[in-house]
Amino acid sequence: MKILVTGGAGFIGSNFVEMALRGDFADISEVVVLDKLTYAGKLENLKFAFGNPSFSFIQGDICDAVVVSKAVEGVDAILNFAAESHVDRSIEDSSEFVRTNILGVQVLLEASLKAGIKRFLQVSTDEVYGTIDTGSWNEAEPLLPNSPYAASKAAADLLVRSYFRTHKLDVVITRCSNNYGPRQYPEKLIPFFVSRLVKGEKVPIYGDGMNVRDWLHVEDHCRGIALVLSRGIAGEIYNIGGGTELTNISLATKLVKLLGLKTGSIEYVADRKGHDLRYSVDWSKIASLGYSPLKEWDVGIAETVESYREALKNG
Ligand SMILES: NC(=O)c1ccc[n+]([C@@H]2O[C@H](COP(=O)([O-])OP(=O)(O)OC[C@H]3O[C@@H](n4cnc5c(N)ncnc54)[C@H](O)[C@@H]3O)[C@@H](O)[C@H]2O)c1
CATH of the domain at 268: 3.90.25.10
128 touches ligand 1 (CB under 6 Å):
no
Q: What is the dihedral of CA 171, 10, 248, 133, to 10 degrees?
A: -10
DSSP reduced 3-state for 126: helix
Cβ(152)–Cβ(204) under 8 Å? no
pLDDT at 314: 84
Query: Which of 269, 286, 312 minimizes the C-alpha distance to 223?
Result: 286
CATH of the domain at 76: 3.40.50.720
Please, which residues bridge with residue 175 across strands? 124, 239
Please check whether residue 301 lies inside any domain of the structure.
no
Cβ(276)–Cβ(211) under 8 Å? yes
127 lies in which domain range? 2-182+215-243+279-294
Q: Which amino acid is at 242?
A: G
Tens of pLDDT, residues 176-221: 999 999 999 999 999 999 999 999 999 999 999 999 999 999 999 9
Query: Which of 141, 47, 110 minimizes the C-alpha distance to 124?
Result: 141
pLDDT at 264: 83
Please, which residues bridge with residue 204 across strands? 267
CA dist 244 and 240 (Å) reads: 12
Task: Give the Cβ contact number of residue 224 at 10 Å.
Answer: 27
Q: How far is the CA of 152 from the centre of ligand 1 (A)?
A: 13
Task: Give Cα 138 to chain centroid, integer Å.
Answer: 19
Is the domain of 98 the same as that of 133? Answer: yes
Q: What is the dihedral of CA 224, 229, 232, 238, to 10 degrees?
A: 40
Closest ligand 1 atom to 14 CA: 16
Element (H, E) at 215: strand 212-217
Is the domain of 146 the same as that of 40? Answer: yes
Total tally of structural domains belonging to the chain: 2
pLDDT at 260: 93
Is the domain of 90 the same as that of 193? Answer: no
pLDDT at 48: 98
Is the domain of 101 the same as that of 80? Answer: yes
Q: How far is the CA of 82 from the centre of ligand 1 (A)?
A: 4
Tens of pLDDT, residues 256-274: 999 999 878 999 999 999 9
Task: Give the Cβ contact number of residue 44 at 10 Å.
Answer: 9
**10-residue block means of pLDDT along the chain (315 residues)?**
98 98 98 98 98 98 98 98 97 98 98 98 98 97 98 98 98 98 96 95 95 97 98 98 96 95 90 94 98 97 95 85
Is the domain of 139 the same as that of 195? Answer: no
Please check whether residue 300 lies inside any domain of the structure.
no
For ligand 1, pick from 63, 68, 78, 81 the residue to mutate: most ligand atoms within 8 Å of CB: 81
**What are the backbone angles phi and psi of residue 159, rounded to the nearest 5°?**
-65, -45
178 touches ligand 1 (CB under 6 Å):
yes
Query: Which of 7, 304, 45 minimizes the C-alpha distance to 180?
Result: 304
36 touches ligand 1 (CB under 6 Å):
yes
Q: How far is the CA of 68 from the centre of ligand 1 (A)?
A: 17
62 touches ligand 1 (CB under 6 Å):
yes
Q: How far is the CA of 89 from the centre of ligand 1 (A)?
A: 13
| Cα angle 186-93-10, degrees, rounded to a multiple of 5 | 35
CA dist 306 and 248 (Å) reads: 20
Active site (catalytic) residues: 126-127, 149
Q: What is the dihedral of CA 50, 83, 174, 136, to 10 degrees?
A: 130
293 touches ligand 1 (CB under 6 Å):
no
Please check whether residue 299 lies inside any domain of the structure.
no
pLDDT at 213: 96
10 touches ligand 1 (CB under 6 Å):
yes
